[in-house]
Amino acid sequence: MNHLAMKNIVLGISASIAAYKAADLCSKLTQLDHQVHVVMTPNATEFITPLTLQALCGNPVLVHLSDEKNGHIGHIELADNADLLLIAPASANCIAGLAQGLAQDSLGSTYLATKAPVVIAPAMNGKMWEHPATQRNVELLKQDGCHFLGPESTGRLACGYEGAGRLLDTQVMIDELHKWL
């Protein structure tokens, strides 16, 4: 049973091998009766297709700003109507772009336009996660009011290393999201 009222969640997906987990996250949020709208970076489509996510959430997936037609500015509408912007997975590149305020793609543009709470779930190689530049960017985003979920502090990474950097388990993320919903 859903303990939360239906919310409008914008799920942002960046280019990470963990993007496949976004399908499970999208499905679970939809099953909890949330309205889920997906925004992907173009490079994220190399890891999971927009069609998969559209089938799971029942809404069109925004990838390219150039797809916004007939005066319809989809990223602004998504940003205005969001109760929560959840970026999962957030790659090091995505985190850097958000921290610097870059609107280089539909996800960055949606982030800059929203007044909704922002929750970021990082996923990357442990060395990338621990790099001082990434940690500076995380601190900048926290100063801007963003909340972070993860990454896991230990575990096997896609690159074969063991350590920090894994995307949190989807159910753990959903349980933690109760704080922001």
Higher pLDDT, 68 or 115: 115
Q: How many domains does the chain have?
A: 1
In this model, does residue 42 exceed pLDDT 90? Answer: yes
Task: State the chain's mean pLDDT as an integer.
Answer: 88
pLDDT at 137: 98
Catalytic one of 57, 94, 146, 159: 159
pLDDT at 1: 36
On whether residue 45 sits in a domain, the answer given is yes
Q: What digits encode the pLDDT tens for the residues 98-108?
A: 999 999 999 99
Burial track 99-111 (b if 16+ CB lie within 10 A, e otherwise): beeebebbbbbbb
On whether residue 36 sits in a domain, the answer given is yes
- Cβ neighbours for 167, distance < 8 A, ≥ 6 positions apart: 16, 18, 21, 88, 89, 121, 122, 123, 150, 151, 152
Estimate the share of the chain in helix, then strand, then coil, as percent rounded to the nearest 5: 45, 15, 40
Helix (H) or strand (E) holding 44: none
Helix (H) or strand (E) holding 64: none
Average pLDDT over residues 109-135: 94
Per the structure block, which two tokens stand in for 28? 């679970």
On whether residue 74 sits in a domain, the answer given is yes
| Residue whose structure tokens are 């303990």 | 3
159 is annotated as an active-site residue: yes
Helix (H) or strand (E) holding 86: strand 84-90
On whether residue 44 sits in a domain, the answer given is yes
Residues forming beta bridges with residue 62, ordered by sequence position: 39
In this model, does residue 66 exceed pLDDT 90? Answer: no
Residue 153: give the domain boundaries. 8-158
CATH of the domain at 129: 3.40.50.1950
Cis peptide before 42 (omega within 30 of 0): no
- Helices 74-81 and 106-113, packing angle to 10 deg: 40
Average pLDDT over residues 132-152: 94
pLDDT at 77: 87
On whether residue 163 sits in a domain, the answer given is no
pLDDT at 64: 87
